[in-house]
C-alpha cells in the first residue's frame, strides 16, 4: 500500500510547479523548502512500498533528528561561506515575522533541514535498484593509525588553507570534514567509508556518491526556478552553467554526501555512543 503522505507529497510537488505561473504567496517565496519536503515524502513512501520499511515509517525519531542535524550542519557551511563567499541569496521570503532577517532565518533553517533527509531518502531509493551489486574490491585493505592520523591532518590543513586563501582552496570545504571525521568514526567503531573500503565493500560509498549527485541536480534544478534562491560566485571555474551551478561544481556533490555521512555518525557517537546503524541500515548492505 502506498502511504498517504506519499500522495500528499505528490500534490505538494504538483502545486509547487503549477504555482510557478500563479505566484500565490507565501507559497511562491517558500517554494524551495516546500517542494523538498514533498520530494522527501514521495521517496519515503516509494521506499516503504518497495521494502516494507523506511526512514519516516520505521525510524521516525531518526528522521526528526536528521532534520535538526541537517539544519545545524548547513548553518556551519553558511558560516564558512562568510569567508569563501561562494554563494549569495536573492530575495526575502514573504511572511509575518519581522524584521526581515528573522523571516529569512526561519526560511533558511527550514530549507537547510531538508538536506540530510533528502540524501538519506535518495540513498534508500537507489538501494532498491540494486546498483553496484556486481562491483567488489578484489582484496581487503589495511588501515594503519598513521594513515588515519594523516587523513585527519590533511582535513585540518584543508580548512586552514581555505581560511587563508578561500579564492584558491574553497573546494576543500566539501571534503575536509570527511577527512577529519571519517577516521575518527572508524577508530570509535562507528560506520565509516574507511571501514567499508577496508573490508572490500565498495557499494555503500558508491551509492552515497550517486545519492549526493542526484540530490545536487535536483537542488540546482529547483533553485533555478525559485523566487527566493541562491547564486554562485566561483573563482576560476564559473563557466558552462547547468542552472546556476557551473558544471564542474557538480563534482562536489558526491564527496559532500560522504561528508554528511561522516558528520552524521560523528554527531550520533557523541550523543549515544555506538549506533544500531538505523540511519542507512548499512549492516544490511
Count of domains observed in the chain: 1
pLDDT at 12: 97
Q: What is the mean pLDDT of residues 125-141?
A: 75
- Can you list the alpha helix ranges (DSSP code H) found in 99-225? 100-112, 115-128, 145-164, 166-169, 176-187, 193-198, 203-224
Cα separation, 175 vs 189, whole angstroms: 21
pLDDT tops 90 at residue 49? yes
pLDDT tops 60 at residue 97? no
pLDDT at 139: 64
Q: What is the mean pLDDT of residues 119-139?
A: 82
- pLDDT per residue as tens digits for the range 212-262: 999 999 999 999 988 889 999 999 888 899 999 999 999 999 999 999 999
Higher-pLDDT residue of 91 and 7 is 7
Is the whole-model pTM more than 0.75? yes
The vertex-176 CA angle with 223 and 125, nearest 5°, equals 50
**What DSSP designation does 52 have?**
S
Which of 5-9, 120-124, 134-138, 187-191 has the lowest average pLDDT? 134-138
pLDDT at 246: 94
% of the chain at pLDDT higher than 70: 91
Nearest Cα to Cα of residue 262 among 68, 69, 122: 69
pLDDT tops 90 at residue 99? no
Q: Which domain holds residue 162?
A: 4-284
Which of 133-147, 170-184, 225-239, 266-280 has the lowest average pLDDT? 266-280
What phi and psi values does residue 96 have, to the nearest 5 degrees?
-100, -10
Cα separation, 215 vs 123, whole angstroms: 10
pLDDT at 100: 76
pLDDT tops 50 at residue 283? no
Q: What is the three-class DSSP state of 89?
A: strand
pLDDT at 248: 94
Q: What is the mean pLDDT of the chain?
A: 89
Higher-pLDDT residue of 198 and 72 is 72
Amino acid at each position: 500500500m502506498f502511504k498517504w503522505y506519499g500522495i500528499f507529497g505528490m500534490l505538494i510537488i504538483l502545486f509547487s510547479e503549477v504555482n510557478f505561473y500563479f505566484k500565490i504567496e507565501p507559497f511562491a517565496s517558500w517554494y524551495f523548502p516546500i517542494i523538498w519536503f514533498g520530494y522527501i515524502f514521495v521517496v519515503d513512501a516509494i521506499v516503504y512500498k518497495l521494502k516494507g520499511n523506511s526512514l519516516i515509517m520505521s525510524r521516525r525519531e531518526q528522521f526528526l533528528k536528521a532534520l535538526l542535524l541537517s539544519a545545524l550542519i548547513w548553518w556551519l557551511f553558511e558560516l564558512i561561506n562568510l569567508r569563501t563567499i561562494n554563494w549569495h541569496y536573492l530575495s526575502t521570503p514573504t511572511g509575518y515575522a519581522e524584521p526581515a532577517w528573522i523571516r529569512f532565518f526561519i526560511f533558511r533553517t527550514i530549507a537547510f533541514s531538508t538536506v540530510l533527509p533528502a540524501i538519506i531518502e535518495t540513498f534508500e531509493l537507489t538501494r532498491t535498484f540494486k546498483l553496484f551489486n556486481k562491483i567488489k574490491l578484489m582484496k581487503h585493505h589495511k588501515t594503519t593509525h598513521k594513515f588515519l592520523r594523516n587523513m585527519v591532518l590533511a582535513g585540518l590543513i584543508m580548512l586552514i588553507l581555505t581560511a587563508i586563501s578561500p579564492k584558491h582552496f574553497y573546494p576543500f570545504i566539501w571534503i575536509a570534514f570527511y577527512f577529519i571525521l571519517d577516521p575518527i568514526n572508524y577508530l570509535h567503531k562507528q560506520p565509516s567509508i574507511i571501514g567499508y573500503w577496508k573490508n572490500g565493500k565498495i557499494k555503500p560509498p558508491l551509492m552515497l556518491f550517486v545519492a549526493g549527485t542526484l540530490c545536487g541536480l535536483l537542488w540546482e534544478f529547483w533553485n533555478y526556478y525559485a523566487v527566493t534562491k541562491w547564486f554562485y560566485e566561483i573563482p576560476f571555474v564559473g563557466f558552462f552553467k547547468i542552472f546556476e551551478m557551473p558544471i564542474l561544481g557538480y563534482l562536489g556533490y558526491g564527496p559532500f554526501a560522504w561528508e554528511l555521512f561522516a558528520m552524521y555518525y560523528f554527531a550520533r557517537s557523541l550523543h549515544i555512543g555506538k549506533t544500531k546503524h538505523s540511519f542507512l541500515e548499512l549492516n544490511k548492505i
